[in-house]
A = this chain, B = another copy of it.
Amino acid sequence: MSKQDFAVDEIARKIELGNRRALSRAITLVESSHPTHRKQAAELLQALRTDREAIRIGMSGTPGVGKSTFIESFGLQLVESGLRVAVLAVDPSSAISGGSILGDKTRMDHLSRHSNAFIRPSPSQTHLGGVARRTREATALCEAAGFDVVLIETVGVGQSETMVAEMADLFVLLLAPAGGDELQGVKRGIMEMADLILVNKADGDLKAAATRTCADYAGALRLLRKRGQDPEDFPKALMVSAIEGNGLHQSWIEMQALVAWRKKNEVWQKIRADQNAFWFNTELRHALLTRLENDPEAAAASSAMQTAIRAGEVAPSVAAERVVQSFLRIKKT
- A residues with a Cβ closer than 8 A to B are 42, 45-46, 50, 133, 136-137, 140, 273, 276-277, 279-280, 282-289, 291-292, 302, 305-306, 309-310, 312-321, 323-324, 327-328, 331-333
| CB-based contact A280/B319 at 8 Å | yes
In the bound complex, what is the Cα–Cα distance between A182 and B72 (angstroms)?
A: 41
Q: Given the complex, which residues of B lie within 8 Å of A309, measured CB to CB?
A: 273, 276-277, 280
Instruction: Give the interface SS of chain A, mostly helix, strand, loop or mixed.
Output: helix
Sort A-B residue pairs by CB-CB distance and give the 9 closest, nearest first: A283-B320, A279-B316, A284-B320, A280-B316, A331-B331, A45-B315, A287-B324, A50-B312, A276-B309
In the bound complex, what is the Cα–Cα distance between A333 and B320 (angstroms)?
A: 23
| CB-based contact B285/A316 at 8 Å | no
Q: Given the complex, which residues of B lie within 8 Å of A302, measured CB to CB?
A: 284
| CB-based contact B324/A284 at 8 Å | yes
- Chain B residue with the shortest CB-CB distance to A273: B310
| CB-based contact A46/B315 at 8 Å | yes
| CB-based contact B328/A283 at 8 Å | no
9 example contacts (A-B, Cβ-Cβ < 8 A) are as follows A45-B315, A46-B315, A136-B316, A276-B309, A276-B310, A279-B317, A286-B320, A287-B323, A287-B324
Q: Given the complex, which residues of B lie within 8 Å of A42, measured CB to CB?
A: 315, 317-318, 321
In the bound complex, what is the Cα–Cα distance between A209 and B140 (angstroms)?
A: 58
- Pick from B45, B50, B280, B313: contact of A320, CB under 8 Å: B280
Q: Known pairs A276-B310, A284-B319; list 20 more (Cβ under 8 Å).
A: A46-B314, A140-B315, A276-B316, A277-B306, A277-B309, A279-B316, A280-B306, A280-B309, A280-B316, A280-B320, A283-B320, A283-B321, A284-B302, A284-B320, A285-B289, A287-B317, A287-B320, A288-B327, A291-B324, A332-B332
- Pick from B283, B312, B316, B323: contact of A317, CB under 8 Å: B283
In the bound complex, what is the Cα–Cα distance between A288 and B323 (angstroms)?
A: 9
